[in-house]
Structure 1
Amino acid sequence: MDGFSLEMALFFVFILIMGAFLFFKRKRLTIEWVLKPVIYLMLYKTKLGIGFIDFLAKKAGGLIRIIGYLFAVAGIAIMPLITWLLAKSFYDMAVAPGSVPGVGLVLPIPIKGVFYVPFSFWIISLFIIMIFHEFSHGIVAKAHKVPIKSSGFAFFGILAPLIPAAFVEPDEKIIKKAKTSTKLSIFAAGPVMNIVLGIVIVMFIFPLAVTPIQEEGLDFYFDIFGGSGIVNVTGVKVAGYMNFSEEPYAEYNLTSPAKLVGIPVNSTIQEINGVRIKTINDISRALEMAENTVTVTADGENYAFVPVNHPTEERKLLGIVPALEYTEATGEKYIAYGFLLTLLTWLWLLNIGIGAFNLLPINILDGGQMLKAILDRIISEESSKRIVSMFSWGFGIMLIIMILMSFLF
């Protein structure tokens, strides 16, 4: 069984297990309608993790409250940015039909319109994201003396249950009476924690994890649209020549020097001025060290010429479109390590994406709750409800249209 078939088999087994769980626990499920009778949440309430939340809030309540306030400031800063990005994506899609929508469903199903994530990475990432998200809400709430009524599993459904999740349920009546700063810190805790976790992974954890294989002369590749693993990079191929007739080059009347001297397309660059070339960064470093003329060795032939200067940046260009040539590293060690690095990559991508999405000003999302808390401080509750409802319907319709369009184009 190949990797794709195994992932799909695991997904269908998971669907069966989830279906059986929902059937046998149906009497303990609570349904919260988002858009009746189409979109809903099914909640299975427990007390899981509440003791841990109480312990952390008791031991470090002061520090947690400070972090919560910082997260509130970050959430308020990010909310207008992600709102603008969604609106811009919708506008771009409207004026240029056929362009790729900025949002879509993230599912382990490789069909048109779905942002496909292999099941193993999808379920592990989703579990970690939800745990950090929901427990952050709960821990900050408890640090502000807000009781936690329940926690448990949730299932987001569009007609049928689709996506498993988790939840922590603070006492909403007490939150409603809390200060605006307290509300904002509780609501922002989940999405901002996801964004922070994503940044920590990509800036610190991933570089540490990838170092051992790089010390062996190997590298990790990742294609968001399919494929990842540990590879042995053998060189840089000339995939084509740069198009200097486009911006920002058009007005400078440049020509590809690599094309002028006849470096063949699909040839492999081995050296530049005697420096071994294995990566695209090696080309940049070799050009930086070159004073004027460079000698490029491609498929055993030498080509001497003067590279062109980038018109707006301080760097030199060969005038090629580079592509890495590599072979897959084999062995159980590299397969396992490739899985770990791929998981870390999906974790930072999905943490940042889901965290930012949750800051949209839609009433069922954390961003909508934050917007209402801010407006309640400025205007009457009735007016704030009306404004949040307008934002929710407006951006909700945008999201639905963009998701539907992703299935068409």
Structure 2
Amino acid sequence: MNLDIVFAIIFYGAIILYFLTHRKKFEIQNKIIALYKTKIGLKLMDKFSKVAPKFLRVLGIIGIGIGFIGMITIFVFLTKGLINLFMDPAAKATIGLVLPGIRIPGAPVYVPFWYGIISIFVVAVIHEFSHGVVARLYNIKIKSSGIAFFGPILAAFVEPDEKQLSKKSKSAQLSIFAAGPFSNILTAGVVGLLLLFLIMPFAASILESEGVQISGLEKNYPLERAGVTEGELIEEVNSVPIKNVDDFVEVMSEIKSDQIVILKTNRTLYNVVAFEHPKIEGKGYLGVVVAPYITRLKENVVSKFGDKLPWAIFGFSKLLGWIFALSLGIGLVNLLPLGPVDGGRMFHLVSLHFLKDEKKSKKVWGWMSFVSLMLIILNITFPYLRKLFNWLLG
């Protein structure tokens, strides 16, 4: 049995059990949001707000700009993703629910349990701590901090004094709202640079791979149509031996559209015609995702350091990869002009500034929230709805 599933069942089961046995300690909002309020981290937020306050204010202003750029970016990204789902039957969802250890059929990504739990904890702490620090920077009281549940989704929160917050300048309010997503994007940038210039070169120097495994197939593309299955090992392409992923990439770089490709796997021989690459004119495309079959430490590394330390470093690099991905994803999604999330509050404040009318600004904010929510729901559910529709039509 998959240990990720076991850990996930234990973890989510423990949370549900704790909620049921300590329900009075939770504050329920809108029937699907449960807040567990504490005072953890409040003193530390206050201390950090007093370290280089001028620098923090400048950083807060930069965060506003990055926040609105991120808002436009994620809105356009989801819109294009949805259009692509409508136009291309083979298109996959661009976003999905992040539930560590739970493999959702058809979801674009699966997050391993421990990597996911640790990464979400890091992302949430940085996000909410940043909100709290900037709020204290502007002398706004933080009433509480804690964990929250949006249905099955685990989150964190800080609770500023809303009356004090509403009396502050618009730039101060925007700085506070943008602080969380901006800190996540900043974290993703720092971690991304570490991975690119330090961790990945180091991992490449201590690891070697052997064999190429088919890990994914695109529907209605040559290999999927030919009956190739995930898990098969690629041995040759057009009589060229394939020892590793680099060999496969090199051979495929020479393949043109409409060219015959003879693929030999550990199962059988496939004779297919390459499609044209969806983004590169004239280039051949088979619609396949490959991965190393065996990844192991180089012998000279094992003899010098043993096998435990290098694998621990490799595991840490994978954790950083998930922190990067989830920091960027969660930061951007929080910038959507949607209801009570950070981007929604930023959008409402700016619309009020330009419209000068609370009723009109709330109406615009409501419509944008509805559109943003529909973008999320449809991007996640449309592939399933399409499958259901095709099944009903036979």
Question: TM-score, normalised on structure 1?
Answer: 0.71
In the alignment, the residues of structure 2 paired with residue 327 and residue 139 of structure 1 have an alpha-carbon distance, to the nearest angstrom, of 46
Structure 2: unaligned runs, 5 residues or longer: 214-235, 255-278, 298-306, 388-394
- Partner letter of residue 327 of structure 1? I
Residues 31 and 42 in structure 1, CA contact (< 8 A), matched pair in contact too: yes
Alignment partner of 1:142: what SS?
helix
CA contact (8 A) 1:57 1:140 kept: yes
8 Å contact from structure 1 (residues 195, 351) kept in 2 = yes
> Which residue, out of 60, 78, 103, partners 1:110?
103
Corresponding residue for residue 246 of structure 1: none
Corresponding residue number in structure 2 for 1:295: none
Residue 282 of structure 1: CA displacement?
A: 10
Q: Give the corresponding residue for 1:340.
A: 316
The CA deviation string for residues 149-206 of structure 1, in whole angstroms up to 9 with x for no partner, is 110111120xxxx122211111111211211111111111111111111111111255
Q: 1: CA distance between counterparts of 2:336 and 2:180? A: 13
CA contact (8 A) 1:233 1:324 kept: no
Query: Equivalent residue for 1:58?
Result: 50
Residue in 1 that maps onto 2:358 = 381
Q: In the alignment, which residue of structure 2 is the partner of 1:168?
A: 158
Q: Does 1:352 align with 2:328?
A: yes
Residues 125-169 of structure 1: CA deviation (Å, up to 9, x unaligned): 110110011111111111111111110111120xxxx12221111
For the Cα contact (< 8 Å) 2:195–2:317, is it kept in 1? no
Of Structure 1 and Structure 2, which has the larger fraction of its residues in strand? 1
Relative to structure 1, the CA distance from residue 267 to residue 280 in structure 2 (aligned partners, 3 Å threshold; closer, same or farther) is closer
SS in 2 for 1:116: coil
1:16 pairs with one of 10, 13, 17: 13
**Cα distance in 1 for residues equivalent to 2:162 and 2:328:** 27
Based on CA coordinates, which of the two structures has the bigger radius of gyration? 1
C-alpha distance in 2 between matches for 1:77 and 1:86:
14
Q: Residues 327 and 90 from structure 1, CA distance in 2 versus in 1: closer, same or farther, beyond 3 angstroms?
A: closer
Q: Residues 205, 140 of structure 1: CA spacing in aligned structure 2 closer, same or farther, 3 A cutoff?
A: farther
Q: Deviations over 1:216-263 (max 9, x none)?
A: 3x2xxxxxxxxxxxxx135899xxxxxxxxxxxxxxxxxxxxxxxxx9
Match of 1:127 in 2: 121
Q: Distance in 2 between matches of 1:324 and 1:111?
A: 21
Counterparts in 2 of 1:138 and 1:267: CA distance versus 1, 3 Å: same
| 1:145 is the counterpart of 2:139 | yes
CA contact (8 A) 1:235 1:268 kept: no
Looking at structure 2, the residues matched to 322 and 82 of structure 1 have their Cα atoms a distance apart, in angstroms, of 26
Mark the CA change 1:76 to 1:214 in structure 2 (over 3 Å): closer, same or farther: same
Partner of 2:62: 70
Are 1:206 and 1:341, in contact at CA under 8 Å, matched by a contact in 2? no
Paired position in structure 2 for 1:401: 378
Q: Write the deviation string for residues 265-289 of structure 1: whole angstroms up to 9, x where unpaired.
A: 263379xxxxxx99469969xx9xx
Aligned partner letter, 1:352: L
Match 2:238 to one of 265, 289, 292: 265
Q: Deviations over 1:10-63 (max 9, x none)?
A: 111101221222123211211121xxx5xx221011100000001111233222
Q: Is the 8 A contact 1:146 1:171 kept in 2?
A: yes
Q: Give deviations 1:332-391, integer Å, cap 9, x for gaps.
A: 344423321211111111111111111111112211111111112111121111100001
Structure 1 vs Structure 2 CA RMSD: 3.5
1:27 partnered with 2:15: no
Question: AA paired with 1:376?
Answer: L
2:328 partner SS:
helix
Q: Please give the alpha-carbon distance, in whole angstroms, between the structure 1 residues aligned to 2:156 and 2:239.
A: 50
Question: In structure 2, what is the equivalent of residue 309 of structure 1?
Answer: none
The equivalences for 1:190-201 within 5 A come to 190-201=180-191
Aligned length: 329
> Which sections of structure 1, spanning at least 5 residues, go unmatched?
219-231, 238-262, 271-276, 288-311
Q: Given the two structures, how large is their TM-score scaled by the length of structure 2?
A: 0.74
